Amino acid sequence: MNNQALETIFNEIADLLELKEESGFRVNAYRRVARAIGSLTEDVQAIADRGALEEIPGIGKSLAEKIFEFLDSDKVDFHEKLLAELPVGLITLARLSGVGPKTARLIHASLGISTLDELEAAARAGRLRTLPRMGKKSEENVLRGIEQARRQSARTPIGIARPMADDLVAALRALPQVRQISVAGSLRRMRDRIGDLDVLVTSDDPDPVMDAFVRSPWVLDVLAHGPSKSSVTLRTGVQADLRVVPPEAFGAALQYFTGSKEHNAKVRERAVRAGLRLNEYGLFRADGEQRIAAATEEEIYDALGMPWIPPEMREDLGEVEAAVAGALPRLVEAGDIRGDLHMHTKWSDGSGSAAEMARAAKALGYEYVCITDHSQSLKFAGGVPPEDLRAHIAEVRALSNKKLGIEVLIGAEVDILADGSLDYDDDLLAALDLAIASVHSRFRMTESEMTARVVRAMRNPYVTILGHPTGRLIGQRDPYALDIDAVIREAAATGTILELNAAPERLDLKDDHLRRARANGVQIEIGSDAHAAEGLALNYGIGTARRAWLTAENVVNALPLVKLRAALRRKRGG
């Protein structure tokens, strides 16, 4: 709560200082602290209480004082003063795509505009072109920025963006001038929402590649078209950027365009300190043109004194320091996963049988699966009544590991009812190998009510796993109000496993929650929540886990069957 409020305040201070044309370095200092606080795994109050604020990189005396001030009074005087000096609307204007602080100030100073509506009216009336260095095109850009801001969901869920990018890559790969090709940007870093699709190509003859890209049938609008970089809006409304570099610079360009911006800044800082200069064409000596590394990412990181850093970690959340210290964790990868513990069959709302799901999982190389159909209350999803569940248990127990080549466990995804009780009796839950407890109804509770509801369910010894803990659907439904830190504490105290639901529209828990869970020693289950054999893929979930620095040791379904069974029994006291 404190962390988020402080993040917002410091970001606004940065915006306001930028509007006042203060030193960019000072502006950056505020952005940096906003980010640092936003990514803490602990409440800033607790850190302040043990006097450790200034141990956080980017926080010095002055910022620590402002944080104390906020913790005491819920506000920061400097922030209030800045807000009083400038119209709040200016922040909104300056955040528009295509408009920055300079333009926002100019527009405000000469036309008295401070809201989006006023700006739109002025642009439509052709009044912006009366300003210096503004013309017809600038007006169009402003209108485009307003439209995008109003469309709000400016970022695309990865489950939608990734297949689009794959199509784009396949089409470009077919061009004879294309040598190497890769996705880059937040897509390669496996963020759950993607701002735009970044594709990197190497070629000795870039012009035909760029031409083919901007003329391809799914392009709606060309935003920029240069020899090394082009940007388009696809018909799907998503922006795509293509960058072309010479083949010998592939590694440097891939590193550069994968980002994040913050990670790159940190890496380039190290380069400068070593008397080097890093850009998308390579790593050079600062005093000349001599190129030290460029062809692969590995040689660039190596030349800067660190091992290659997985893209999912490149967020400047301590990965550079860890790499330099030789302390990068070995992140969980697809090959570590031994089974899938969350899937549905036609017994509830799935389309396959238990045996069909098991065979599909076997084809993925798994040792085991667990069938977890919905419980009785979830009528619209064909929730299984208790008497039918008894029969399903017997049916699954009869499936032979010898015949199928994979162990099939039986569980249930049991509803957490409004009062925190469960949708099956304990003696029925006791007959299962595991129970995933999930909230599927009554989402609109207060945070304290919802937290109490979930915590009560977690205290049941037969609740093995808390399913999709926040209930969010990316880009469609916000998470329900829940004190996630209280849930993580409860998971640690009760030995409840938390789910990373790998369905691309969920990815729940999300990366920063998973980081906090890891910091508290909580075990994670990565489950597909598949409703058909094709839904068993865990790639988005594994990417999210890697973003949270999870290793195989943190993931319960990376355990071999014997150890998994022991882990599932632990909370029951077995």
Partner DNA sequence: GCCGTTTTCGGCCCGACTGTTTTCAGTCG
Contact set with DNA (CB under 7 A): 23, 25-26, 28-30, 33, 54, 57-64, 78, 96-104, 129, 132-138, 140-141, 145, 185, 195-196, 198, 223-230, 241, 257, 259, 261, 264-265, 268-269, 271-273, 277-280
Q: Which is nearer to DNA, 25 or 380 (CB)?
A: 25
Residue 94's alpha-carbon distances to 27, 91, 167, 289, in angstroms, are 14, 5, 34, 37
One-letter-per-residue 3-state SS of 30-61: HHHHHHHHHCCCCCHHHHHHCCCHHHCCCCCH
CB of 542 to DNA, least distance (A): 24
Cα 434 from Cα 147, distance rounded (Å): 48
* Cβ contacts of 321 within 8 Å, gap of 6 or more: none
CB of 541 to DNA, least distance (A): 25
Q: Which is nearer to DNA, 284 or 366 (CB)?
A: 284
| Helix axes of 158-173 and 539-547: crossing angle, nearest 10 degrees | 110
The length of the chain in residues reads 574
3-state class (DSSP) for residue 200:
strand
Q: Which is nearer to DNA, 223 or 473 (CB)?
A: 223
Cα 349 from Cα 169, distance rounded (Å): 35
Q: Which is nearer to DNA, 64 or 519 (CB)?
A: 64
DSSP per-residue letters across 265-320: HHHHHHHHHTTEEEETTEEEETTSS-EEE-S-HHHHHHHTTS----GGGTTTSSHH
For residue 230, what is the enclosing H or E element? strand 229-234
CB of 548 to DNA, least distance (A): 23
CB of 545 to DNA, least distance (A): 25
CB of 137 to DNA, least distance (A): 4
Q: Which is nearer to DNA, 134 or 410 (CB)?
A: 134
Residue 166's alpha-carbon distances to 172, 214, 400, in angstroms, are 10, 17, 39
Q: Which is nearer to DNA, 325 or 363 (CB)?
A: 325
CB of 519 to DNA, least distance (A): 21
Q: 557 near 339, Cβ under 8 Å?
A: yes
Q: Which is nearer to DNA, 258 or 554 (CB)?
A: 258
* Cβ contacts of 46 within 8 Å, gap of 6 or more: none
CB of 216 to DNA, least distance (A): 16
Phi then psi dihedrals of residue 239, to 5 deg: -85, 140
Q: 199 near 169, Cβ under 8 Å?
A: yes
Q: Which is nearer to DNA, 11 or 141 (CB)?
A: 141
CB of 60 to DNA, least distance (A): 3
Q: Which is nearer to DNA, 29 or 165 (CB)?
A: 29
451-456 long-range Cβ contacts below 8 angstroms, 24+ apart: 451/482, 451/483, 451/486, 451/487, 452/420, 453/416, 453/418, 453/419, 453/420, 454/416, 454/420, 454/482, 454/487, 454/490, 455/420, 455/486, 455/487, 455/490, 456/419, 456/420, 456/421
Sheet holding 434-438, edge to edge: 339-340, 368-374, 407-415, 434-438, 465-466, 497-501, 524-527
CB of 176 to DNA, least distance (A): 21
Cα 421 from Cα 415, distance rounded (Å): 9
For residue 479, what is the enclosing H or E element? none
CB of 326 to DNA, least distance (A): 15
Beta bridge partners of 230: 225, 242
Q: Which is nearer to DNA, 15 or 367 (CB)?
A: 15
Q: Which is nearer to DNA, 54 or 333 (CB)?
A: 54
CB of 228 to DNA, least distance (A): 4
Q: How far is CA 120 from the centre of its chain?
A: 33
CB of 290 to DNA, least distance (A): 14
**Side-chain half-sphere exposure of 164, counting CA atoms within 13 A:** 23
Q: Which is nearer to DNA, 191 or 342 (CB)?
A: 191
Q: Which is nearer to DNA, 275 or 573 (CB)?
A: 275
CB of 95 to DNA, least distance (A): 8
Cα 34 from Cα 40, distance rounded (Å): 10
